[in-house]
Amino acid sequence: MADYAKPLPEITAESKPFWDACARHELLVQKCRACGTVQYYPRGVCAACWSADVEWTPSAGRGRVYTFTVTYRTQARGFRDELPYVLAWIELEEGVQVMSNIVAVDPAKVAVGLPVRVTFDDVKEGLSIPKFTAA
């Protein structure tokens, strides 16, 4: 996995629980204890009410492609060597959108509404990046 040339996350205290869970192959979203809103991307406050009382909660890791693009030209590190690739917004069953890649699917078969499930790209010891593939 030492040859993973794509960008890596800069993990901070705020996001560490999310990335620790990814390393265990678990996708987390957040739920606000004050107002009940589920949110993604994770952050230190609830995006709906700004309560700091947000809890980590596992996502089933299933959803559908909300939209996507098959990229044929890019300067993005790592990706420019693997053209074409699929960048997508996925709508999870929990109701929130997640940006990711659709992998291990022929780009020509990707469509809006395609059922997908999370899969983890084990980049190095202790770091796995959530991506999605056909469910």
Partner 1 sequence: MKPQALIAGVHEFPERKTAKSMLEIQALSARAALEDAGLGKKDVDGYFTVAANPGIGPLPIVDYLNLNPKYIDGTTIGGSSFVAHVNHAAAAIAEGRCRVALITYGSTSRSSGVAVGTRERISGDYLDQFEALYGTSTVGLYAMVARRHMHEYGTTSEQLAEIAVATRKHASLNPLALYRDPISVKDVLASPMISAPLHLLDCCVITDGGGALVVVHPDLARDLKKPPVRLLGSAEAIAHTSGGRRDFLVSAAAESGPRALAEAGLSPRDVSMAMIYDSFTITVLVTLEDLGFCKKGQGGAFVSGGRIALGGELPINTDGGGLSSNHPGMRGIFLVVEAVKQLRGECGERQVRDCRVALVHGTGGALGNRHSGATLILGRS
Give the count of alpha carbons within 13 A of 42, CB side only: 23
The tokens of 79 are what?
Answer: 């990706």
Contacts of residue 108, Cβ cutoff 8 Å, sequence gap at least 6: none
From the list 1, 112, 124, 135, which residue makes contact with partner 1 (rule: CB under 8 A)? 112
Q: Residue 81 and residue 44: Cα distance in Å, rounded?
A: 35
Ranges within 74-93 binding partner 1 (CB under 8 A): 74-79, 85, 87-89
**Strand-strand pairing, 97-102 and 115-124:** unpaired
Question: Binding mask 33-62 vs partner 1 (x if CB under 8 A, - otherwise)?
Answer: ----xxxxx-x---xx--------------
Enumerate the β-bridge partners of residue 28.
58
Q: Choose between 87 and 134: whose C-beta lies nearer to partner 1.
A: 87
Q: Are 30 and 57 in contact (CB under 8 A)?
A: yes
Q: Choose between 85 and 118: whose C-beta lies nearer to partner 1.
A: 85
Q: Does 57 bind Zn ion (CB under 5 A)?
A: no
Sites of contact with partner 1 (CB under 8 A): 6-12, 14-15, 19, 29, 37-41, 43, 47-48, 66-79, 85, 87-89, 95-101, 112-113, 129, 131
